[in-house]
C-alpha cells in the first residue's frame, strides 16, 4: 500500500515537460482505437456466434445438406421453392406449423401484455403480504418447460386429469379434450403459457412503474384527475418504453414456442399444434436435412424481423 | 508414437476440407477390416495395447442400470479394454450422434434400433460388421430370422442384434375378475376379445383405451394391420401401402372401439397405461419395457401375454437393439478389435440383459433355463417368430412418423380412417421419393 502510494505520489510530483506531450499523443492516437478495443470482445463474439452462423445458414439453405453424406449438392433456391410449392413433401407440414405458431402468437401475446400489466399495477399498491404475492406470481417462471409441460399434461388429461375432475365436481362438462382436440388444445397451450410466464413481464412492468416520478401523480391528483385519467395520462405514457420492450420480447418468445406443444399436446390432433421451431428441429436434426431447416429458419427470422420493425415504427409514430 | 501418426493422418484429412471428411472416413473404413485381422480376429479376443472405448446408448430406464452393471463386469474381466458408457434419451441420442461423429467426438460403439441402422449406414456413420458375424460363426440360425435379417442393409451387415422388444398384451386381473372374466385366461382371438369387452362394459368399465399417439395406439394399429395382412410399404419400400383394405379395416376396428364405448375419446399420451394401472381399463397393448415398471407396482394385479389374434394371422410390432461400430475420422484398428470383443461378449450375456425387460436375440439364450425363469419377459418370447419389424430403408424414421400421424387423425375423429390413411400415404410417397433422391438408392 505504502509503496504504491509513494510511487503514485512520485509520479504526480514529477511532471517532466517531455512526458506531458508524450501521453497526449498516445491518447490522441488511442482515441481512434479505444472504442474499438472496448467493442472488440463483443464484436468477436457477435461475428463468431452471430453473424457467421447466419451467413453459414444462408449458405446451407442453398444446398441439400446432410452433415454425414459425402455429397451435399448445391440446389439453388429449391429448398425455398419447396416451402411454397404444394407438391413438395414438406409443404403441408411447414404451413401447418406456420399456422400453429401464428394462432399461438396471436392469442398469447395480447394476454401476456395485458395480464401482467394488471398484475403489476396491483402488486405496485401497498397492502399487507405484497412481497408474498409478488413471489407467488413470479414463482411459475422459475420452473423449466419440462416441469410445467409434464405437470400440465397430466392435469389436463381428458380422462384422468384433475382439471376435468374439478370441472365435473362443480357440474360443468367433465370430458373436455384439453390436449387432444382444437380449439381446446390452444386454450390449454395459451393458458399454461400465460400462467407460466406472466410473472416475468409483471416484474418488468413493476420496475417500469417504480421509475415513474411520484410528483407526476401528485400533480395529476391536484389537477383533479381520477384513477383512470392518472392511468391513461401518467402511467401509460411513462410505461411506453417498457411496453415496447415487453411487446417485442413477448412476440419473439411466443413465436418461438416449442416445449409447451412438444410436451403437453405432442402436436395433436394430427400435427395441428406442431410449431415452426419444432418443425425446424425435426427437419434439421431428425430428418437430417439441414438445408431445408436452414431455409425455414431464414424465412422465419425474416418474418420476425419485419414484425419487430413494424412494432418499433408503430411505437415511434405514437411518440411523435 | 501412434498418437502422432494418427493426428497427422487426421490433419491431412482436415486439410482436404471439412466437406470431404465423411468421404475420407468411408475410405478409411476399407482398411479397417484388414487392420482388425492384424490385431484381433473379428471379436474372439483382443491382445493388443490397452484401449479406451466410448459407448453411447439410450437406455435411460431400469435397463440402463443393468446395462452399466454388465459393462462393469466386462471391464473387470478385460484388463486391456476399458468401456465407458454415456446415456442419452433416444431422441437426443439420434440427433447428437451424426454431429458428434463428423466432428470427431463420436463414440466407438453405438447401440441403435433396427429401423435406424439403414439410415446411419447410408449416412456413413457406422461400419460393416460382416467379419464379426463370420469369425464368431453367427448365422441366421442363432437368431430369429426376422431379427437377423433386420441387421442388414444393402447386402451388408451393420448391426449385431442384442435383443428384441415387442408389443405385449397387458391385462388387469382385478378388473377382469370384477367383470366375471377368468383373470388367468386372457382373450386370444377376436371373438374372445370382443366378448370380453362387452362383459367389461356391463360392469361399467371401458376395457380397451385406444391411444391416438404412437405410444401406444400407433403401435397397436401397426400390429393389427399386419395381422390383417397389411403392410406399411411395398417390398422395395418404394411406395407406402398403409391405406390398403386390410389397413383401413384394422384402423376402423380400433376407431370403432371408441364408437362402441369400449374406449373413451381423446385418450391422452400414456393415459391408456395409467388407466390400466389404476384399474380403469382392463387391456393395454404396450411395450415389453413396461414389465419392470409394473413389477414395481405391488398393488396392481396384472398379467402379460402375446397379442391376441384379431386379424387373419398373428403379428406384433417389434423393434430390436443392435450393436454397431461407429466410423472414425482415422481408424484405430485396436479400438475396432476391442469393440468387436465387447459386442461379442455382451451378446453372449444377453440372459442378464433379459432381466432388463427385453427378449434376448440369441436363440441359445432364449432356450436357456435361466431365461425361462423370467416368466413375464418369457411370455412374450413366442412373438419373436412373427414379429413385424420396421423395414430397413434410409430415412424411414420420418415416414413412420407420417404413418403414426395419420392414425392419430383417424382416432381423434379428425378424418375417417380411409381418408386419414389415404392422405398419409400421399405424403409418405413424397417422403420416400425424397429419400431415394437423397440417399441414391
Mean pLDDT along residues B91-115: 90
Q: Kindly tell me if the per-residue pLDDT of B227 is higher than 70.
A: yes
**How far is B154 from B393, CA to CA, in rounded Å?**
9
**How far is B58 from B224, CA to CA, in rounded Å?**
28
Cell 480376429 sits at which residue? B41
Q: Kindly tell me if the per-residue pLDDT of A241 is higher than 60.
A: yes
Max CA distance (Å), chain A: 93
- DSSP reduced 3-state for B358: coil
Q: Which residue of B has its CA nearest to A286?
A: B95
* A187, three cell numbers: 386454450
**How far is B257 from B261, CA to CA, in rounded Å?**
6
**How far is B286 from B244, CA to CA, in rounded Å?**
25
Q: Which residue of B has its CA nearest to A290?
A: B99
* A38, three cell numbers: 472496448
**How far is B328 from B302, CA to CA, in rounded Å?**
47
Q: Kindly tell me if the per-residue pLDDT of A16 is higher than 70.
A: no
Q: Indicate whether this complex's ipTM tops 0.90.
A: no
Percent of chain B with pLDDT over 90: 61
pLDDT the model gives residue A28: 55
Mean pLDDT over the full length of chain B: 87
pLDDT the model gives residue B17: 35
Mean pLDDT along residues A40-49: 94
What's the gap in Å between the CA of A194 and the closest CA on chain B? 22
Question: Which H or E run contains B58?
Answer: none
Counting Cα atoms < 13 Å in the Cβ hemisphere of A268 gives: 30
Selected for mutation to probe chain B from A56, A63, A64, A67 (highest B CB count within 10 Å) is A67
Q: Compute the C-alpha angle B146/B386/B175, nearest 5°.
A: 135
pLDDT the model gives residue B20: 34
Instruction: Give me the residues paired with residue B157 across strands.
Output: B152
By the 10 Å C-beta count (0-12 exposed, 13-18 middle, 19+ buried), B312 is classed as exposed
Which of A73, A56, A51 is closest to A64 using CA atoms? A73
* Structure confidence by residue, pLDDT tens digits, B48-78: 899 999 999 999 877 888 899 999 999 999 9
| Contact across the interface for B408 and A286, Cβ inside 8 Å | no
Q: Are B340 and B40 in contact (CB under 8 A)?
A: yes
Q: Are B300 and B294 in contact (CB under 8 A)?
A: yes
**How far is B372 from B378, CA to CA, in rounded Å?**
6
Which of B145, B162, B147, B100 is closest to B126 using CA atoms? B100
Q: Are B194 and B317 in contact (CB under 8 A)?
A: no
| Contact across the interface for B269 and A153, Cβ inside 8 Å | yes
Cα dihedral sign, B298-B300-B303-B308: negative
Q: Compute the C-alpha angle A174/A179/A182, nearest 5°.
A: 95
Using an 8 Å CB-CB cutoff, list chain B residues near A161: 268
- DSSP reduced 3-state for A153: helix
Mean pLDDT along residues A218-226: 92
> Which pLDDT band holds residue A317 (cuts at 50, 70, 90)?
low
Name which residue leads in pLDDT, B26 or A284.
A284
Task: Enter the DSSP assignment of A265.
Answer: I
A270 vs B124, B408, B431: nearest CB: B408
Using an 8 Å CB-CB cutoff, list chain A residues near B211: none
Cell 431428425 sits at which residue? A286
Using an 8 Å CB-CB cutoff, list chain A residues near B267: 158-159, 180
Distant-in-sequence, close-in-space partners of B73: CB < 8 Å, separation ≥ 6: B349
Task: Enter the DSSP assignment of B390.
Answer: P
3-state helix, strand, coil in chain B (%, to 5): 50, 15, 30
Q: Are B284 and B209 in contact (CB under 8 A)?
A: yes
Q: Kindly tell me if the per-residue pLDDT of B392 is higher than 90.
A: no
**How far is B431 from B428, CA to CA, in rounded Å?**
5
A159 vs B119, B275, B395: nearest CB: B275
> Which pLDDT band holds residue B5 (cuts at 50, 70, 90)?
very low
Mean pLDDT over the full length of chain A: 88
B268 vs A67, A92, A158: nearest CB: A158
Selected for mutation to probe chain B from A59, A60, A70, A182 (highest B CB count within 10 Å) is A70
> Which pLDDT band holds residue A4 (cuts at 50, 70, 90)?
very low
A177 vs B125, B266, B395: nearest CB: B266
Q: Are B250 and B224 in contact (CB under 8 A)?
A: yes
| Contact across the interface for B408 and A72, Cβ inside 8 Å | no
Mean pLDDT along residues B163-174: 95
Any idea which of A110-119, A180-189, B145-154, B209-218 has the lowest mean pLDDT?
B145-154
**Count of A–B CB contacts within 8 Å?**
106
pLDDT the model gives residue A318: 59
Render the burial of B416-433: b for 16+ CB within 10 Å, e for the rest.
ebeebbebbbebbbbbbe
Using an 8 Å CB-CB cutoff, list chain B residues near A67: 98-99, 102
Beta-sheet strands, E only, within B337-389? 359-360, 387-388
* Structure confidence by residue, pLDDT tens digits, B235-262: 999 999 999 999 999 999 999 999 999 9
B102 vs A68, A177, A181: nearest CB: A68
Bridge-based pairing state of the strands B316-319 and B321-325: unpaired
pLDDT the model gives residue A11: 45
What's the gap in Å between the CA of B125 and the closest CA on chain A? 7
Any idea which of A2-16, A231-245, B245-259, B363-377 has the lowest mean pLDDT?
A2-16
Question: Which H or E run contains B333?
Answer: helix B333-348
Cell 410473472 sits at which residue? A199
pLDDT the model gives residue B426: 96
Which of B217, B216, B232 is closest to B390 using CA atoms? B232
Residue B137 φ/ψ, nearest 5 degrees: 55, 40
| Contact across the interface for B412 and A268, Cβ inside 8 Å | yes
Render the burial of B160-193: b for 16+ CB within 10 Å, e for the rest.
bbbbbbbbbbbbbbebbebbebebeebbeebeeb
Name which residue leads in pLDDT, A282 or A67.
A282
Q: Of the segments B4-8, B246-250, B356-360, B434-438, which one has the largest average pLDDT value? A: B246-250
* A275, three cell numbers: 410449431
Distances (CA, A) of B379 to A61, B362, B374, B417: 51, 16, 8, 32
pLDDT the model gives residue A260: 95
Q: Kindly tell me if the per-residue pLDDT of A316 is higher than 80.
A: no
Q: Kindly tell me if the per-residue pLDDT of B339 is higher than 80.
A: yes
Q: Kindly tell me if the per-residue pLDDT of B36 is higher than 80.
A: no
Residues in A whose CB is inside 8 Å of some CB of B read: 64, 66-70, 72, 87-89, 92, 153, 156-161, 175, 177, 179-181, 266-271, 282, 285-289
| Contact across the interface for B267 and A159, Cβ inside 8 Å | yes
Q: Are B186 and B322 in contact (CB under 8 A)?
A: no
| Contact across the interface for A161 and B123, Cβ inside 8 Å | no
> Which pLDDT band holds residue A24 (cuts at 50, 70, 90)?
low
pLDDT the model gives residue B31: 34
> Which pLDDT band holds residue A235 (cuts at 50, 70, 90)?
very high
Beta-sheet strands, E only, within B130-203? 152-153, 156-157, 160-161, 163-172
> Which pLDDT band holds residue B33 (cuts at 50, 70, 90)?
very low
| Contact across the interface for A158 and B101, Cβ inside 8 Å | no
Q: Are B94 and B72 in contact (CB under 8 A)?
A: no
> Which pLDDT band holds residue A105 (cuts at 50, 70, 90)?
very high
**How far is A6 from A59, CA to CA, in rounded Å?**
60
**How far is B159 from B321, CA to CA, in rounded Å?**
9
Q: Are B148 and B167 in contact (CB under 8 A)?
A: no
Residue B409 φ/ψ, nearest 5 degrees: -65, -35
Q: Kindly tell me if the per-residue pLDDT of B39 is higher than 70.
A: no
| Contact across the interface for A159 and B98, Cβ inside 8 Å | no
pLDDT the model gives residue A287: 85
Mean pLDDT along residues A142-162: 94
State the DSSP string of B77-140: H-TTEEEEEEE--HHHHHHHHHHHHHTT---SEEEEEHHHHHHHHHTT-B---HHHHHHTT--G
The span from the first CA to the last CA of chain A, in angstroms, equals: 56
Beta-sheet strands, E only, within B313-414? 316-319, 321-325, 359-360, 387-388
Q: Kindly tell me if the per-residue pLDDT of B411 is higher than 80.
A: yes
**How far is B45 from B271, CA to CA, in rounded Å?**
48
Amino acid at each position: 500500500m505504502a509503496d504504491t502510494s509513494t510511487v503514485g505520489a512520485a509520479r504526480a510530483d514529477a511532471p517532466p515537460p517531455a512526458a506531458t506531450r508524450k501521453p497526449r499523443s498516445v491518447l490522441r492516437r488511442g482515441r481512434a482505437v479505444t472504442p474499438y478495443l472496448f467493442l472488440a470482445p463483443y464484436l468477436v463474439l457477435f461475428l463468431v456466434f452471430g453473424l457467421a452462423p447466419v451467413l453459414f445458414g444462408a449458405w446451407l439453405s442453398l444446398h441439400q445438406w446432410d452433415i454425414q453424406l459425402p455429397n451435399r449438392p448445391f440446389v439453388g433456391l429449391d429448398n425455398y421453392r419447396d416451402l411454397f410449392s404444394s407438391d413438395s413433401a414438406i409443404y403441408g407440414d411447414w404451413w401447418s406449423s406456420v399456422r400453429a405458431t401464428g394462432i399461438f402468437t396471436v392469442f398469447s401475446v395480447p394476454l401476456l401484455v395485458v395480464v401482467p400489466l394488471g398484475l403489476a399495477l396491483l402488486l405496485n399498491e401497498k397492502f399487507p403480504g405484497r412481497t408474498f404475492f409478488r413471489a407467488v406470481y413470479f414463482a411459475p417462471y422459475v420452473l423449466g418447460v419440462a416441469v410445467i409441460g409434464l405437470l400440465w399434461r397430466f392435469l389436463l388429461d381428458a380422462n384422468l386429469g384433475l382439471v376435468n375432475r374439478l370441472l365435473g365436481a362443480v357440474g360443468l362438462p367433465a370430458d373436455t379434450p384439453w390436449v387432444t382436440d382444437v380449439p381446446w388444445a390452444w386454450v390449454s397451450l395459451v393458458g399454461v403459457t400465460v400462467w407460466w410466464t406472466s410473472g416475468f413481464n409483471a416484474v418488468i412492468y413493476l420496475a417500469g412503474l417504480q421509475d415513474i416520478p411520484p410528483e407526476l401523480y401528485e400533480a395529476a391528483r391536484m389537477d383533479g384527475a381520477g384513477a383512470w385519467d392518472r392511468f391513461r395520462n401518467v402511467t401509460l405514457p411513462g410505461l411506453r418504453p417498457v411496453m415496447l420492450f415487453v411487446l417485442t420480447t413477448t412476440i419473439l418468445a411466443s413465436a418461438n414456442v416449442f416445449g409447451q406443444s412438444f410436451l403437453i399436446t405432442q402436436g395433436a390432433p394430427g400435427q395441428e399444434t406442431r410449431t415452426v421451431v419444432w418443425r425446424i428441429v425435426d427437419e434439421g436434426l431428425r430428418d437430417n436435412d439441414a438445408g431445408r431447416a436452414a431455409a425455414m429458419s431464414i424465412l422465419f427470422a425474416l418474418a420476425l424481423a419485419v414484425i419487430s420493425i413494424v412494432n418499433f415504427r408503430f411505437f415511434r409514430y405514437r411518440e411523435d | 508414437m501412434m498418437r502422432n501418426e494418427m493426428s497427422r493422418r487426421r490433419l491431412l484429412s482436415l486439410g482436404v476440407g471439412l466437406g470431404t471428411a465423411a468421404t475420407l472416413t468411408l475410405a478409411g473404413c476399407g482398411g479397417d477390416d484388414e487392420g482388425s485381422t492384424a490385431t484381433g480376429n473379428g471379436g474372439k479376443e483382443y491382445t493388443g495395447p490397452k484401449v479406451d472405448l466410448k459407448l453411447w446408448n439410450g437406455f435411460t430406464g431400469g435397463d440402463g442400470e443393468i446395462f452399466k452393471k454388465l459393462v462393469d463386469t466386462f471391464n473387470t474381466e478385460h484388463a486391456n479394454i476399458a468401456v465407458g458408457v454415456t446415456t442419452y434419451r433416444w431422441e437426443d441420442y439420434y440427433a447428437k450422434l451424426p454431429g458428434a461423429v463428423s466432428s470427431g467426438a463420436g463414440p466407438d460403439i453405438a447401440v441403435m434400433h433396427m429401423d435406424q441402422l439403414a439410415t446411419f449406414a447410408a449416412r456413413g456413420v457406422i461400419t460393416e460388421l460382416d467379419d464379426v458375424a463370420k469369425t464368431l460363426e453367427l448365422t441366421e440360425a442363432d437368431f430369429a430370422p426376422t431379427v437377423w435379417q433386420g441387421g442388414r442393409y444393402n447386402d451388408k451387415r451393420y448391426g449385431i442384434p442384442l435383443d428384441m422388444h415387442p408389443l405385449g398384451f397387458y391385462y388387469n386381473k382385478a378388473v377382469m375378475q370384477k367383470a366375471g372374466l377368468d383373470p388367468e385366461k386372457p382373450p386370444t382371438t377376436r371373438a374372445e376379445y370382443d366378448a370380453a369387452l362387452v362383459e367389461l362394459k356391463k360392469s361399467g368399465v371401458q376395457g380397451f383405451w385406444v391411444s391416438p399417439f404412437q405410444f401406444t395406439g400407433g403401435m397397436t394399429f401397426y400390429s393389427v394391420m399386419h395381422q390383417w395382412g397389411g403392410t406399411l410399404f411395398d417390398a422395395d419400400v418404394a411406395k407406402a401401402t398403409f391405406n390398403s383394405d386390410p389397413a383401413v379395416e384394422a384402423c376402423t376396428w380400433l376407431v370403432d372401439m371408441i364408437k362402441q364405448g369400449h374406449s373413451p375419446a381423446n385418450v391422452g399420451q400414456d393415459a391408456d397405461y395409467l388407466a390400466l394401472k389404476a384399474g380403469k381399463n382392463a387391456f393395454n397393448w404396450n411395450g415389453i419395457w413396461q414389465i419392470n415398471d409394473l413389477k414395481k407396482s405391488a398393488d396392481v394385479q396384472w398379467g402379460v401375454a402375446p397379442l391376441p389374434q384379431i386379424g387373419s394371422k398373428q403379428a406384433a410390432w417389434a423393434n430390436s437393439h443392435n450393436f454397431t461400430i461407429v466410423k472414425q475420422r482415422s481408424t484405430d484398428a485396436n479400438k475396432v478389435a476391442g469393440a468387436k470383443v465387447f459386442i461379442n461378449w455382451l451378446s453372449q450375456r444377453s440372459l442378464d440383459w433379459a432381466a432388463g425387460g427385453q427378449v434376448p436375440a440369441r436363440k441359445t439364450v432364449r432356450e436357456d433355463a435361466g431365461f425361462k425363469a423370467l416368466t413375464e419377459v418369457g411370455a412374450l418370447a413366442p412373438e419373436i417368430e412373427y414379429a413385424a419389424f420396421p423395414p430397413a430403408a434410409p430415412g424411414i424414421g420420418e415416414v413412420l412418423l407420417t404413418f403414426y400421424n395419420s392414425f392419430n387423425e383417424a382416432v381423434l375423429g379428425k378424418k375417417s380412417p380411409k381418408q386419414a390413411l389415404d392422405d398419409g400415404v400421399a405424403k409418405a410417397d413424397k417422403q420416400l421419393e425424397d429419400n431415394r433422391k437423397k440417399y441414391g438408392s
